Amino acid sequence: MRFFLSVTMIFILGACGLATTRPKVEMSLAQAAFMAAKESGADVHASTLYRKAEDFYLKAKSSYRRKYFNKAKEYAILSKQYSEKAEYASTRKKALDGQAGE
């Protein structure tokens, strides 16, 4: 009886680790958003937002490598959000600067 209970507990505890899935979609979206922000010149025109996006992206990659998938997902989502804000701010600033030159 004690052996059966021990095996059951090990199985249940092992299954908890398997319940966390790899945040592949979130990581891909974060990478795409970060690259888009970089291509839009956000590192120059919206440097604060870009640096935050970069910081969260690097934390997401590090957490993913260490198999801290919940943290990696959180950081990837934050990176995507800041990347999108940085890209928008950069595009807006470039458009406004273009109008001022006319």
Virtual CA dihedral for 74, 77, 82, 86, nearest 10 degrees? 160
Q: Give the pLDDT score at 16.
A: 53
Give tens-digit pLDDT for 17-46.
Answer: 556 899 999 999 999 999 999 999 999 999
Question: Residue 86 to residues 8, 46, 57, 70: CA-CA distances in angstroms?
Answer: 50, 6, 13, 24
Distances (CA, A) of 24 to 5, 11, 16, 66, 97: 35, 26, 19, 14, 38
pTM recorded for the entire structure: 0.78
List, for residues 65-97, the tens digit of each pLDDT value. Answer: 999 999 999 999 999 999 999 999 999 999 998
